[in-house]
Amino acid sequence: MIKGFAPAKVNLALHVTGQRADGLHLLDSLVCFADVGDEVSVTPSAQFTLSVEGADGLAAGDDNLVLKAARCFGANAGARIRLNKKLPVAAGLGGGSADAACTLRLLSKLWQLDLPAAADILALGADVPVCLTGRSARMQGIGEAITPLENMPPFAAVLVNPGVAVPTQSVFNSLKSKDNSPLNPIPNSENPADWIAYISMLRNDLEVPALQIAPVIDRVLERLGSSERCAIARMSGSGASCFGLFETREAAQLSAQKIRALEPDWWVVDCWLGGSAHT
């Protein structure tokens, strides 16, 4: 058995800069990874099987992204894949893409094969290539253009999901402006204060349409934003998960405790964001 870690992906900013003729949206996003996530393991087997633990309503059928990733190799081999879900489903944290990327890494090692072609990996989803890197990056285009950000420092953070699934396609369909400005120039600094100031000037263009679908997101942002020493509160991806960046890990831990007490039905974790994800 080979085990791997599929970290939560957080969009610190997500600008929608256009839409192609084929309907795919062009993005410019600041992406980093958390030290919380799902767990994947693979074991040699005569056929493909997938078992899922820890997630109600997540099917292990043929359309599961993990199995789609496994088939990208075109290998005449099987594997028993086990997915232990710790991240909420359809949450804007890239859980499915992270699981697929982790599966690709593990099967490449198990079978001693090169990773599938870049086009096949991108076809799995826009977030899969950046999840495969597992590092802080600027993601552009339809997900194929990835620039590592070696100078981005780690941030103490709180991730919150109110338990409401938000369909990504519905959010994009509700987006009124699809030709927005790209990210500002990336800071040439490793100073957390410089990055906080920079991220504060950015935005998530999907936040407004997501709020129309799931108004509870506004309450999530209020809970985070009103926490002591919270520097930024913003939605990640297409929602409904949001993040808060904090001055210290202790402040993040205290915020998470208070939000859990106020909203016991929500998924709330404090974590580190940034750096290289554990694989």
Closest Cα partner for 89 from 31, 159, 165? 165
Residue intervals of the chain classified under CATH 3.30.230.10 are: 2-146
Give pLDDT, residue 216: 98
Category of 274 on φ-ψ map: left (φ > 0), alpha (ψ -120 to 50) or beta: left
Give pLDDT, residue 279: 40
* DSSP-derived secondary structure for 70-137: HHTT--S-EEEEEEE--SPTTSSS-HHHHHHHHHHHHHHHHHT-PPPPHHHHHHT-TTHHHHHHTB-E
* pLDDT tens sequence across 133-149: 999 999 999 999 999 99
Q: Name, in order, each residue with C-beta under 8 angstroms of 28's C-beta and a sequence gap of 6 or more.
A: 14, 15, 17, 138, 139, 140, 182, 183
Would you say residue 276 has pLDDT above 60? no
Q: Tell me the average pLDDT across 76-96.
A: 92
Q: Name, in order, each residue with C-beta under 8 angstroms of 45's C-beta and a sequence gap of 6 or more.
A: 78, 79, 80
Q: Which residues are known catalytic residues?
A: 9, 127
Give pLDDT, residue 54: 85
Tokens of 88: 């909420």
User: pTM of the full predicted structure?
Assistant: 0.95
Q: Name, in order, each residue with C-beta under 8 angstroms of 191's C-beta and a sequence gap of 6 or more.
A: 153
Give pLDDT, residue 62: 74
Phi/psi at 92 (nearest 5 deg)?
80, 15
* pLDDT tens sequence across 153-209: 999 999 999 999 899 999 999 999 999 999 999 999 999 999 999 999 999 999 999
Give pLDDT, residue 278: 43
Q: Is 1 helix (H, G, I), strand (E, B) or coil?
A: coil
Tokens of 25: 């949206």
Partners of 29 in the β-ladder: 14, 139
Give pLDDT, residue 77: 84
pLDDT band with cut points at 50, 70 and 90 for residue 56: low
Q: Tell me the average pLDDT across 209-231.
A: 97
Mean pLDDT of the chain: 94
pLDDT band with cut points at 50, 70 and 90 for residue 275: low
Q: Which residue has the tokens 């990055």?
A: 195
Give pLDDT, residue 79: 94
**CATH fold label, 150-273:** Alpha-Beta Plaits (3.30.70)
Give pLDDT, residue 59: 66
Query: Domain 2-146: which CATH class?
Result: alpha beta
Rounded to whole angstroms, the Cα distance separating 188 from 151 reads: 7
Residue intervals of the chain classified under CATH 3.30.70.890 are: 150-273
Would you say residue 253 has pLDDT above 50? yes
Q: Tell me the average pLDDT across 97-122.
A: 97
Please report, rounded to a whole number, the percentage of residues in the chain having pLDDT higher than 70: 96
